[in-house]
Structure 1
């Protein structure tokens, strides 16, 4: 008999007594009797209320609980049997207390399981593995089976899976706790090694596995009990079979009453529904007065007339009032009016009066208020029905409508003040456009005949223009050339040459006329005389016997008194006797043998003096530095990181071989190579604790961010600065030219030494160092970007070290500066470097990186394949997005797992290179051991190569990128399992908080970046606040597109952000529908950013008010907008073309109207866009009402289908996260995230998008 006491004491002395056969009966007892029996009842209870926490159901001898264990293969020794894992001993090293298979055998699939004495409500399982052999368990799975469910070792049912370790994330934890929350009879450990098994767990076998488990605890309650507080609560009698959630008691297995619809088993009456776990009255107006749905509160059969909404409690669009029977006015953008008072939220359609928008504003008339009143006298409004001006017209207008000008005047928009131009034979111009009906008078420009034709000017257009620059016309009134003259013409009329030039086109240059006088501007002759020794009249060449540019030098003793060359003075016919050619100025007998020795002697003397001065200066500097370091010794002692083979401290300065005074310091990504030291040198290495558990990294970053990153900066200052070891080889004369920067050399002790010569001039030097990983193993080569003169050295290194992976972190040119020489050929072209023949086999461009694959063959050797991952999004100054670099790193590690040295380079090979190596090595280390030391690793890198992680900004960024890397989830789905995997996610019927899809969504909300007011300050200024549809949705300033077209009264702001597609960094611009005052900004956006398509995500596929209807034109000053006549509709998507014009600029773009609620239309819209993007670089504006809702689903679907096409896989989680980095408000609801998953399998069906790619 089992008795539960505590629960029923508060029920007036009524206990429930459980008999051995499961029956129960109520006993009415006196309170005193219960009190007396309390201790006895607790001892008899199976899961006693007075026990603490859940019970170990597999081994609790005090309650006679003992599970039965066995495993698929025999133990290595009899004493190491399966039962050792349920004996209560959690020692993880002692073999005699563990279940251990014979690892010398090759088992590709193994299992161990424990069967409980009966069915229990299991809360969680704790597995204790052997610590020393944990790598052998990599990739294992745990399963839970109820009565009647069998474990099939050939293909375990995925519905019973409760945990799987991912070997790509490193080795498993030695102790693993897994939530179960199921009715279970059997727990199974299972591991297998399929043929495609891949792992990042060091020393893990890819072909065999085993069982080495020291203990398994199965924690839980009796099958009808719950609560981690002593299993002291019984499941509700309303629950089906009295089974419930072991943690909170909810009826997750259903209810006894079939009318109950929630886990609380509530049953509501007709006219009520469940809200906040209570029965609440229906609030809507269901059709035919039917009751609402008891679970959702919605009207399943529709709403009464004029009512709508999920609960039929809102007026349908277009109606308002208590009974929803009053029709709305003409609201802006066809929006719905206030459903209580009829007010239009964002104003009226053009020319209707606010707030109800039911009548025309003054100045407009007819039923749609689309007709504009004419120019009525005294600015009186016209009749709002007929449009007539009752009191007459303004001057020069034609009554009664006063819309057009009287004959002889035109342009009603400017009050008909413009008179007709010079029409031929006195003809009258068109009274609106001002065009003459025929030709103009002579030299006036058609069709208006108001201004002169190009090339003529003055009031009668009778004067011809001068020679204006670029053949531009002159001002048609003054004749002046607006943009200057053609070369050498005199402004402003450009009719004659400038002083100093002559000829018909002023291309002749005057000679050297006397007194600086100009020459004749037609003939080029000097008017009076020349400067001394020039020939008259053109004064361009020297007189005989004179030479050089100024004709000041007199010729030497030329043979036969011939004239010398008038430019260099050489006697071309030879010298007179005894004179030395070619100038014939020096007699031969006057030469001496020491004329050239004297300058050399002076130079040598000067060099000696300079050397002495430098030695004195260096000596004094060393003396004062040593004194200073002696005085300012760090009181906290020495730093805990000490190199094994090099002494640190002041003696280390003898290795500082570089004179910063004599060499230009380099600038790679930043100008501030390192922070200044208060003591004039690098920090004395004081002891600091910088180990961080990976689970604490987020908290540590938040703490270090305080006080303007002072903790980070203090850490960074403690790193060794500059060159701290010998680097003499890189400074040798023959090697200086091989260094890209004048102060960055490889340390001698760790440099890459080139052993094989390809030419006789080759030596063993290249600016590159070996770098060790966190384990102290040589894993990387950090190198500068190759120069033209080091191209062959770069490939010599790759061939010698058998490099198979190159990571490039710079572009060839950045900000106009050469950063690296291209060392690979173009597609379909070969490149020969020394004896190597290099071919580019593959090149794939992504949004933030490019992947290339080369083959390299030397002479007749075997061909080698080399992968290059080229990150293209590192800004010239600053750091990239953390997520972007982590995704790039994931691409590198996903495609490259063959081992060997990783060659990493940027431009100098220290800043970005050190940051990426730190990310790679510390991620591996942290995933394996659960803790990292960023400071220590950067310190050690700087012992191998100077200035690795070049700036404090990169040091801070490395921490944040590591956090981003540790937060990664395995959410990639391969193409061949997409339907199966996604269907499992979507059809999961577990409690909501246990569903994988819900957990992904909650993780997205946790990882979502938060921006403060400073990040979005542009959208909050006084000028810009009214331009936002929702002040909670503002663009992050660094991601918004800036408007550049000048329009008076407008600034550069629009509520929009640029986001990447999977293949291009700026494919999309997300924005809101334009408001009444921001339409012109939308057209500026399209013109300024070369937009190719406009995607309008609305409720229907019909047009919008701010784009003209098909075949018509509208004006939004200064733009004209014209929609084509050839639009079409397919699968719910309406397509049009829109032409935007301003002055002489014209832009044509595609417009797609997509009803967001229509899945087929969304898929078709994505398909059409993907097809367009094949043709050229393509920018699309994606629009919804607020610029956040709806646009996210469209962009995510587009990006994952691009990913599927290129990489044969999808990652919806990361695609959402990438867009949320720039627009955090997208995909803010679980339903939106679920819809992304729902649409992907549809798109790859037989008739879907992917089939058409």
Structure 2
């Protein structure tokens, strides 16, 4: 058989045909190793970058084409940075053999067992994708170069191996972990946004970052707002964003939002705001785009439903409708205009829309600010200012006109029962006449009882008796008056005689009258007010004369009978006493009125 045919069949079986069309995107890129080998002279020829230098013909430690890690470590990590996120198809690893046959006699087979390969967008393997982990190879089956397909996008390719510290290793595994790589090749497209064996086919435009499967061109992820294998479909069902995973807000009239960023092209529906219409209206705002303010006339001022504007707590007094923007119509008042103005208002059916207070006061017979109470307490009429008459059983009269609905009580008559029974009548509404046995047919208007004197006389005889009594009273008064005049005349004569004797005594002693003693009022001297209850014994204190006095505060005295040696005091005779109209006062001198009593000085 032709050797070329045999080679073709072998490559087909190994699935290696066409793989060389991809680029080795790891060649000569930056590398890093967890525990590099530091012993001389190998430390200078076994660095981490030896695994991407493109050379692996000499796979021994001293060939300078392999990276060697430190001995006696339980973990071994090596990575290469591709310089950006690239589309990857497969990874190939060439392990250290020391150029010896690769079989169970080669000790490096135990070091290669149990390795893992990761693709990540960060330097942390756990942030990425595990492409392969060896769990089945043995020292008999593991190849010295391994190729693993891993169709992914990533920036870092990470090789990792470990050994347990305490547990017993699996059969055939080395005691410690190593990363002895002679070459690690990463095949894929070096130019972003292309796929295919020759990396010449553009990825669909809606693939996220123009990344697609390197084999069939399907998008790894879609740009926000698109879905489908090649991201050819826009988000629907009110979804938007990356992988169409987010829900639209409340766009105007229920319209769907923009499939990419969720914005509402024609604004928001009632109750929300923001360019995505996903923010609730703040307290005190409502309506489309929250453009309206809640009414200050709400039961809770400026607080309402963010969608409809309906006030919380209803409306304040005087306002109506769900938004409380309309005043109560004429004739209504209070909260939500629920009450009707009284027809008893001065202007019927007209009142204050807030309080219900009537315009023009109340009509006759009503009271209260809302004119909703009838006059009571025996009052009626306009402003309940008029008093009721005496209705039957003290009932309230009619609140408007004052009439007594059930008639008058005893002793009164008239429509309003405010007229007393006329002479000769009594009883309810004065409907009964006084008895003929009553004097002059006069009786009690309430009870009908006759006066106490029930004995009857002829009218002429009664009149004569009254006349006789009156004449007797007049005669007695005349006699009494004559007697008083006669007594006064005798007293005046003695008064004058006593006055002359006192004057002669004063003249013989050449005593000059002092104004403070005698005064200038004829036969009178003005004194100051007498102090009641004075302890001056038989003396009465005289005040000093005040010129021009009208004697309002002074006691008038008759002519002084002598000059007393008592300074400002006048000696009184033992006969001084309170005026008594029953006594014979002819032997006393009148001193004038002091504290509503008349005082007299006994005459000599």
Q: TM-score, normalised by structure 1?
A: 0.16
Determine which structure has more spread, i.e. the larger CA radius of gyration.
Answer: 2
Q: TM-score, normalised by structure 2?
A: 0.31
Query: Which structure has the higher relative contact order (CA within 8 Å, separation 6+)?
Result: 2
